[in-house]
Amino acid sequence: MKMLVLNGPNLNMLGKREPGIYGNNTLHQLEEGLVNIGQKIGIDIVCFQSNYEGALLDHLHQAEEKGFEGVIINPGALTHYSIALRDAIAAIKIPVIEVHISNVHAREEFRKHSVTAPECIGQIAGFGFYGYEMAVHAMMNYLGKRG
Ligand code: DQA
Per-residue pLDDT tens digits for 79-96: 999 999 999 999 999 999
Average pLDDT over residues 34-62: 98
CATH class as words, domain 2-142: alpha beta
Mean pLDDT for the chain? 97
Please say if 142 is a catalytic residue.
no
At 147 the pLDDT is: 58
Please say if 100 is a catalytic residue.
yes
At 85 the pLDDT is: 98
Of the candidates 33, 32, 31, 13, the residue with the CA atom closest to the CA atom of residue 23: 13
Distance CA 67, CA 56 (A): 17
Residue 17 has pLDDT above 80, yes or no: yes
82 is in an annotated binding site: no
- Ligand 1 centroid distance, CA of 5 (Å): 15
**What predicted TM-score, i.e. pTM, was given to this entire model?**
0.97
Distance CA 88, CA 79 (A): 13
Considering the chain, what percentage of its residues have pLDDT values greater than 90?
A: 98
Residues in the chain: 147
* Ligand 1 pocket residues where CB is under 6 Å: 10, 74, 76-77, 79, 100-102, 104, 111
Residue 47 has pLDDT above 80, yes or no: yes
At 98 the pLDDT is: 99
At 61 the pLDDT is: 98
Residue 146 has pLDDT above 80, yes or no: no
Residue boundaries of the structural domains of the chain: 2-142
